[in-house]
A and B are shown apart, each in its own frame.
Chain A
């Protein structure tokens, strides 16, 4: 039973059907198959014969797949969002998520600096206690956002059996932005006393102030991010290829 349904799942997902309707279809098919098998067993067939008969009545793989793929509304409603608008799913969405994470991290940095380090002219100093946790949240957002977003892209790509091109684009985009984004923190201070006074300025930018430094460092950072995010996907693809050949 599982072989037929696994093959059907693969075929539907590869055709671009969204996972949710596929899951629902397979759940109902499984229930139906169990009913058919029970009916055939009650009619006196052996379990093996009952299973074969139930399969025959349920329909073959081509019919079951075509019943969903060939429907007129397939293109408009059953296609997953990632198939219908990959530019949005793997271009705009990661970009928006990354920017949101960085903005939030910057807000945490600026507010933490104001609250916990009012006399310091930089927020990048050792802190303790609750300040450590507070800044730690911002730091985690800043450093892990590109990785988590990359893993989300990989998860969606694997779950929906997407072709590699758009997820790869999303991963490269995420890695490049993750490697290029930098936070600059400044605070004006009095010339005579050197005591920092407000307001604080936390600026998020793709680093262009020191282009030569960026070129020297960022490609490695981007490559590391890309490797970290793409590795689970590659492992999954290898596993799927191995499973398919067995």
Chain B
């Protein structure tokens, strides 16, 4: 099976945003998080799945996430959930991201406008 293309920008702030958003709804373990990202972004954001763990561990070190070990069907998993500090961080990241996408969208729209004039 050929390796899937990955999005290199995944590691530049976007994973934190997606992970915090996902975990705000429900606690999940790493595999679930990656599958949820894949499904909910219609596989637009593809990533080497293993790299999600350093992001999770970093968020936990920052106090944005907390983890607990749970055994389900005989398998022990580490489940992550968002802390109040993580919710605040999510709000900040979401604002920044909204501003950024609006600005880029505006820029792209302007580009089309210029092309249309020419």
Contacts and interface: CB of A to CB of B under 8 A. Distances in A.
Contacts of B29: 31
Contact of B48 (A49, A52, A60, A68): A60
B4 A64 contact: no
Contacts of B53: 25, 28-29, 32, 67
A31 B1 CA distance: 21
B31 A35 contact: yes
A59 interface: yes
A71 B31 CA distance: 21
B75 interface: yes
Contacts of A59: 6, 47-51
Contacts of A58: 48-50
Given A21-B57, A60-B48, A77-B61, 9 more contacts: A29-B50, A31-B29, A31-B30, A32-B31, A36-B49, A49-B1, A52-B1, A56-B1, A64-B50
B interface residue count range (under 10 / 10 to 19 / 20 to 34 / 35 or more): 20 to 34
B3 A60 contact: yes
B48 A64 contact: yes
B54 interface: yes
Contacts of A246: none
Interface string B51-84: 1011101100100000000000001011000000
Contact of A28 (B1, B3, B30, B58): B30
A87 B11 CA distance: 35
Contacts of A35: 31
A58 B53 CA distance: 11
B37 to A, nearest CB: 13
A57 B75 CA distance: 21
A63 interface: yes
